[in-house]
Copies of this chain bind each other. A is one copy, B any other.
Amino acid sequence: MSSPAIDFARSQSARFLDELKALLRIPSVSTLPEHQGDVRRVAELLAAELTRIGMEHVEIIETGGHPLVYADWLHAAGKPTCLCYGHYDVQPPDPLDEWLTPPFEPTERNGNLYARGAVDDKGQMYMHLKALESLFSTGNGKLPLNVRVILEGEEEVGGESIARFVREHPERLKADFALVSDTEMFAPDLPTLCVGLRGMIYTEIEVRGARTDLHSGMYGGAVPNPFVALAQIIAQLKDKDGRILIPGFYDAIQPPSQDELRAWQALPFNEEHYRATEVGSPELTGEPGYSVLERTWARPTLDVHGMPGGYTGAGAKTVIPAKAVAKVSMRLVPDMTTDHTFALYKSFVESLKPAGVELEVRLIHSGDAIVIGTDNPYIRAATQALRSVWGKETVFIRSGGSIPIVGDFERHLQIPTVMMGFGLPDDNLHAPNEKFHIANFHRGIESVVAFFEELGQ
């Protein structure tokens, strides 16, 4: 595959990578208040770059939280309009001591670029910008189709601001389809489109016992222990095989079609290889009777992410804490809804409250599950573009993760999303030593160029 824009991208690959490294050096951790300035700095840098490459109406949109970055170029009369979405915020880097090189000092190793946000999502978001630059630079300052760009800085903290913007200003994002590059390829060199996402509800259970922290010697045996209470609750949310015990939890599920299940069975996937190379636990766990791909793509789950409270330092502190919290999330699949599932969960957790404590169940954020049809012109054009760049047929997968904005685009803009991602399964998303395979960064740019050229024909 070759075109002036693709040739341009190849000739500029070293500069493109340097620019990405500069972005990755800024710790735009959206969940930590002390990084608020860093998040804004990245927004400003992206706005400047969008202006430089030729986008119009570039704007940093204030939200009350972290800002949105908007830009458009709408002069390709008669051609479709693409809404390019990406997020420039990143997950916290902890645990810091498990990084081989510092999370905010991008480092090349074995053909990969290691840094927090390398693949999720700064690297993949930046592919869009560099594809647009390549097209502008070789097209007399024009693009083959119309483009709007919307970038957010709150994806890792629930994406409330962009959700509100989409809901309240759908006319400003009017497009025929959206392009999101925040997913992964099923295997190296296997071009992949993601056509299904799990939803999620992220919650906190707070348990309060005594009014203040008490000495476990003086009071142990008479006073409720919030951690023991939480353990009793959590142990009743799932059975030992991993089945979730919340009454009604599984009722609304629409299983995948027989065609989809057959396609998944044909994918190059070996559960033991996955366990050994990606996971590393002694065994895999989860609902009996379902394959790993079904369990992670098409079945709901429940996980505990942390249990703040009490004493977590080194050595011994003999405290019965006044309160403790469990951070619990559930992943949802079609047609479970966030509101109904949270109501079922909350009422079940409340029914499990042990004696002697008070309990509060809080919803932190949520997003609906989604399945995208494969019979639309944008998915077809994407398949064609991927074939031309990668020389292989595209596989259609789902992702166990959640990208709530895709549901918002469907609901409020009535447009489908093409989820064209170039991460790899071992990219360590949300974990130490996150990386982006450098070749995928460059071929991702070429793929987006080819996709836009295909749609502009």
Contact A307 B310 (CB under 8 A): yes
Contact A358 B222 (CB under 8 A): no
Q: Indicate if A377 sits at the interface (CB-CB under 8 A).
A: no
Cβ of A99 to closest chain B Cβ, rounded Å: 11
Contact A211 B305 (CB under 8 A): no
Contact B329 A279 (CB under 8 A): no
Q: Which of B210, B317, B357 contacts A305 (CB 8 A)?
A: B317
How extensive is the interface on chain A, given as a class?
35 or more
Q: Indicate if A234 sits at the interface (CB-CB under 8 A).
A: yes
Contact A217 B157 (CB under 8 A): no
Q: With A198-B217, A217-B402 as given contacts, are A320 and B303 in contact (CB-CB < 8 Å)? A: yes
Give A263-302 interface residues, CB cut-off 8 Å to B. 274, 278-287, 292, 295-296, 299-302
Contact B211 A281 (CB under 8 A): yes
Contact B279 A222 (CB under 8 A): yes
Q: Indicate if A174 sits at the interface (CB-CB under 8 A).
A: no
Q: With A224-B281, A281-B211 as given contacts, are A305 and B429 in contact (CB-CB < 8 Å)? A: no
B residues near A320, Cβ cutoff 8 Å: 303, 305
Contact A282 B357 (CB under 8 A): yes
Q: Indicate if A218 sits at the interface (CB-CB under 8 A).
A: yes
Q: Indicate if A318 sits at the interface (CB-CB under 8 A).
A: yes
Bound: A102/B9 CA distance, A? 60
Contact B303 A220 (CB under 8 A): yes
Q: Indicate if A202 sits at the interface (CB-CB under 8 A).
A: yes
Q: Indicate if A138 sits at the interface (CB-CB under 8 A).
A: no
Q: Which of B283, B285, B316 contacts A327 (CB 8 A)?
A: B316
A239: nearest residue on chain B (CB-CB)?
B232
Contact A220 B311 (CB under 8 A): no
Q: Indicate if A209 sits at the interface (CB-CB under 8 A).
A: yes
B residues near A300, Cβ cutoff 8 Å: 221
Contact A355 B221 (CB under 8 A): no
Q: With A209-B281, A218-B401 as given contacts, are A312 and B304 in contact (CB-CB < 8 Å)? A: no
Contact B313 A92 (CB under 8 A): yes
B residues near A284, Cβ cutoff 8 Å: 222-224, 356
Cβ of A376 to closest chain B Cβ, rounded Å: 25
Q: With A31-B316, A240-B355, A310-B327 as given contacts, are A286 and B213 in contact (CB-CB < 8 Å)? A: no
Q: With A211-B280, A285-B222 as given contacts, are A310 and B315 in contact (CB-CB < 8 Å)? A: no
Contact mask A202-244 → B, CB, 8 Å, 1/0? 1000001111111111111111110110111111101010100
Complex A-B, nearest 6 residue pairs according to Cβ-Cβ distance, in ascending order: A211-B280, A217-B401, A306-B310, A235-B235, A231-B234, A227-B304
